[in-house]
Every structure is written in C-alpha cells, then in structure tokens.
Amino acid sequence: MNFLQQPPRFLFFTGKGGVGKTSIACAAAVQLADAGKQVLLVSTDPASNVGQVFGIDIGNRIVAVPAVPNLSAMEIDPQAAAQAYRDRIVGPVRGVLPDNVVKGIEEQLSGACTTEIAAFDEFTGLLADDAATRGFDHVLFDTAPTGHTIRLLSLPGAWSGFLEAGQGDTSCLGPLAGLDKQRAQYKAAVEALQDGARTRLVLVARGQGATLREAARTHEELAAIGLTRQHLVINGLLPESEAAHDPLAAAVVRRELAALAHLPPALAALPTDHIALKAFNLVGLDALRALLQPEARGATPDAGEPHIALPDAPTLSALVDEIAAQGHGLVMLMGKGGVGKTTLAAAVAVELATRGLPVHLTTSDPAAHLAETLAGELEHLEVSRIDPHAATEAYRAQVMATKGAALDDAGRALLAEDLRSPCTEEIAVFQAFSRAIREAGRKFVVMDTAPTGHTLLLLAATGAYHRDVARQMAAGSHFTTPMMQLQDPARTKVLIVTLAETTSVLEAAHLQEDLRRAGIEPWAWVVNNSVAAAPVASPLLRRRAEGELKEIDAIRTRHAKRWALVPLLQDEPVGVARLRALAGAQATEAAEPAR
C-alpha cells in the first residue's frame, strides 16, 4: 500500500462517513505493529467504534491491545474529556464560592463548545509529543467524518489566533478559561500538523462520485491550512469479475469504473491505493489482517440459491403512511455516517410533498449535499441547509444590530471581538436548529442530521439550553423548549438509519441508548441498502447477504419497535422520480448504495 510506504510519525485517516476509515486505520495500525513498530491508534470520533473492531473496551485512556504486541489504542471520549476539563476549572472554586454561583459556572461549561474544547485539548496534547506518546514510533488518528475533522484540524490555528487577539467577555469566557495556559502546546500541535515529514493525511473514499467529490473538497480545505502531504485510498471496490453474475453486480461495477475514470482533478495527482470489497465484516484481527493484503479474496463461487430467506419486512412506504397521517411534525433521520440518511430523508420528504403536504427538508450535516440528491424542484417542498458559517455570520449580524446598537464604539469593538470566538458557532447552529424545530408545528420538517457523534453534540447543546431555561423560570411557569419538543412523540419521530452490518448496528443501538437517556424515544429503524433484500447471484454479494441476516434479525427482535427494509437498488436514487420510487412504490430493482 502506497500510504504505508515510509510512513511518518503521524497518520490521519479521514473522509466522508461510512467509507471505511476506522477499518483501514485499524488494519494499518496492525500492519505497522506486526512489523515491529510501537503504534498508538487514536480515535477522535465522538461515536468511535475502534473498540468494537478489536472486540475490547478501550475508552478515554491508552490501553494495550492484547492480541497485537506493540499496539495500543485510545478513544478520545468528548464527554469524559469535558468532565475532566470542567473539574479542572470548577474544582478550585468549589467550596469557596456560593453553591448557586458554582452551579451557574457548571451550566456555562455544559455546552457542546466546552466538549469540543476539551477534546481539542487532549488531541493537541498527543500531537505536541508529550510524555504519553514519546514511546510510540507511529500515532494513527481515526478521525470523525469530514466536517467534524476539518473543524478539529483547523482548531489549533483558530484557537491560537483567538487567544493571541484576546478572549472577549461574553459568549464563551467559561469554556475558554483553561486554554490560555497551554499556548505552547497548541503552537507545537500546529507545527506538527503542517510538517510533511511528521504528518500524512490519508483521504478515504468509495468508488462513487459523491464521496470522491467530498474527498476532493477535503483535500483542498486541508491543504489550505497547511496539510499538504496527502494520499488517497479508494475502498470497497467490487471486483470486476463479479459483474458477470447478475445485473446488480454489473451495475455497481460500471458505476465504480466510471467514477474512477472521472476522478476529480484535485485527487488525480495524489498517490492512490485501491482496496477491494470484502465478503466478510471487518471485525476481528483476522479480518483486519486480510483487508490490506492484495492476495485476499472476498468470495468464492458457491452453488447456493440466488435468493436469501428473509423474514417478512415492512417497507419504507409503510412508515411514510404512518408519518403522513399526522399532517405535520418533525421527522429526524439519525445514524452512523454513510448509511444513507441524506437519500432517505430526501425520499421521505419528496413522498410527503407529492401528497400535497407542506414540507421543509433540511440538514445539520456539514458534509451533506441535498441538492445533488434531489436534482430538481418539487411543489410543496422547501429545501435548506443549516450552514455553520452562514448561521454564524447571521448570528453575529443580529447581535451587533441589537445588543451592539446601545454600545459606544469601544463597546462595539469588544462585542465584535467576542463574537469572533469559535464558541459563537455553537450558539448560531443551535438557534438555526431550534427554528427548524419550531416550524414543525405547522408543517412537516424532515431533518437529515450529521453523523452520530456530531448530532449528539448538537443535542447536548439543546439539553443545556433546556436546563438553563428551567433553572431560570419561576416554579409553576409554563414553557416549551426545543428539547421538550424532541421528547414529545406526538411532535417528533426519530428514524434510526443503519446498514445490516455489525459495527453499523452496534452504533445504532448505542445511539438509541443515548437518545433514551436524553428522554427521546426512537420511533423506527430503517435498514438501508440491504443486499439480502435484493436478488443477487454474485458469489461475493451472496456472502455479504448471508452475513446480513443475523443483524436484520437482531434489529427485528431486539432493537426496533418499528422497522423497514430498503433493498440495494440497481439505479442510483437521485432525482425526484427515483426518490418517490424509494419511499412510495419501493422499487424492487437494484442500485448503488445511497450515501
């Protein structure tokens, strides 16, 4: 593999959700450790599943991987990091200041901004070559999906610049309280990121136009902040030999070859590796060692029947019928990156709008591309995106026009400085999210959310706002917060989207637990891109279909109160007509996975 030739000390694996970053990062870590190198594998994903891949508990500390000599791992747990960060700031004043003041400080430190700062604090410590990592030859970072990664990798410069300019005095004074003491660490982190001799960025993509375009955007954005040493890995390519067995396999192979032939110019010059689709789940050491080996074969021909025995499964159209009966409400699609939330959200919205119901389709995913999926307009359907940059600029303008209007020039200058802090984005995105929730009282709002970890941070901000309002309201007062609407099953329906794969189902189950702890009960599960639900004869695809049955049964019997099965389709579900077929007639032909 080109990306493992003469590897530098730091390797980052990033890309659109669901492209296989974790599997490739884990396989690379095992290969380097097998070669005798001391390796540390770090996940910066708020919804990490590195522990699931190795079958061990890892958590927010460095632990040895027992089955692999020379390999250690850690998962930066944003919540644990945030709690440690809060304890470091609040500890010295607890027992000194009045309890109500201490509670106010803790509430100020309960938002997603504090969580991101705390995770950033740990991340930069690892990059700055502190005592915890000095014994490792290589440190590999399995990062969150693209939007969150760009945010994280740009933070050292953003925070350093903000600290140099001054903290300001209102929006995030509490969260920033612990940062100023560690400027040297942040400076060292920036230098490590920008040093091509020490850091290599591995862009992971699939052989699909959307993920390759996303990789090209990521390449340009990361190069702009100084990460210029990059490699490209195109993962999960169906071997051309499988095309002879059935129309579904042939359609997938044709599309992948076309995507590779039209590689975005920004990627064409990068060193590139291709990894074939495997018939097995990438869980366990044997699977990881096979992933990067060119001699590994994903499947062998068998004499089985071309159809897989499935339990009777409800369709997505049956779920849409139940949703439509209410006439309005919030429909949120959540799940791991790459499971097809954007496509399914668009399909649900299109079907509702086609029935004459007013629908607002929106996304909180920084890397989502609803316009590309819809490829057209439809009566009764409004489409928008909660763009963090646009929301932040609008929020700054609003604050300057209201609070700033009563200030003198010096006061306005201080306020403008404060609004340039990175924490302002948290407030702005939360406000845009809240506006979308309020709309659901009079129309359907269908929300395509960011991948799991990023969504949970947004929900944390919603919960912090709810607690703050509840604390300030007089006893017996009546009020409604966005969190209360999310917790009301008559107003909000959460659809958990997953693939019938081990790690995807495990993460969906963990998401369901997190939502329940927040008082939000998921309404249904949708199993997307099921090979088992499509007629296949390709030996490799048949083995993948057989592997899905256990996961589908677990969803049906243990996890979901309602569920639906969407087959892998032969025609890519792009455009209003095909989206209608997906959520309305539920086509039976086969196609490329919805991404």
State the catalytic residues: 18, 20-23, 45, 503
DSSP string covering 8-48? -SEEEEE-STTSSHHHHHHHHHHHHHHTT--EEEEE--TT-
Handedness of CA 220, 114, 10, 165 (dihedral sign): positive
Q: Which residue has the tokens 């509670």?
A: 103
CA distances from 528 to 24, 237, 515, 594 (A): 23, 19, 21, 8
Would you tell me the crossing angle of helices 183-194 and 146-165 to the nearest 10 degrees?
130
> What's the rounded Cα separation, in Å, for the pair 407 and 349?
45
Q: Which residue has the tokens 């996304």?
A: 363
> What's the rounded Cα separation, in Å, for the pair 254 and 412?
59
Would you tell me the crossing angle of helices 112-127 and 424-439 to the nearest 10 degrees?
140
> What's the rounded Cα separation, in Å, for the pair 396 and 406?
15
Contact 361, 448 (CB under 8 A): yes
Sequence-distant (6+) residues with CB within 8 A of 289 are 27, 30, 31, 34
Can you give the length of the chain in residues? Answer: 595
Cα separation of the two ends of the chain: 26
Which element (helix H / strand E) includes 459?
helix 452-472
Closest CA to 571 of 557, 553, 592, 587: 592
Which element (helix H / strand E) includes 334?
strand 329-334
Contact 259, 218 (CB under 8 A): no
Instruction: List b or e across 479-508, with b for residues whose CB sees 16 or more CB atoms inside 10 angstroms.
Output: eebbbbbbbeeebbbbbbbbbbbbbbbbbb
Q: Coil, helix or strand for 593? A: coil
Q: Give the residues across from 97 on adjacent strands.
A: 94
Contact 238, 253 (CB under 8 A): yes
Handedness of CA 17, 22, 28, 31 (dihedral sign): negative
> What's the rounded Cα separation, in Å, for the pair 424 and 171?
7
Contact 356, 557 (CB under 8 A): no
> What's the rounded Cα separation, in Å, for the pair 257 and 260?
5
> What's the rounded Cα separation, in Å, for the pair 439 and 165?
39
Q: Give the residues across from 202 on adjacent strands.
A: 13, 231
Q: Within 13 A of 420's CA, how many CA atoms are on the CB side?
A: 17
Residue 213 neighbours by CB distance under 10 Å:
18
Q: Which residue has the tokens 């928008």?
A: 384
Tokens of 595: 């991404």
Identity of the amino acid at 116 = E
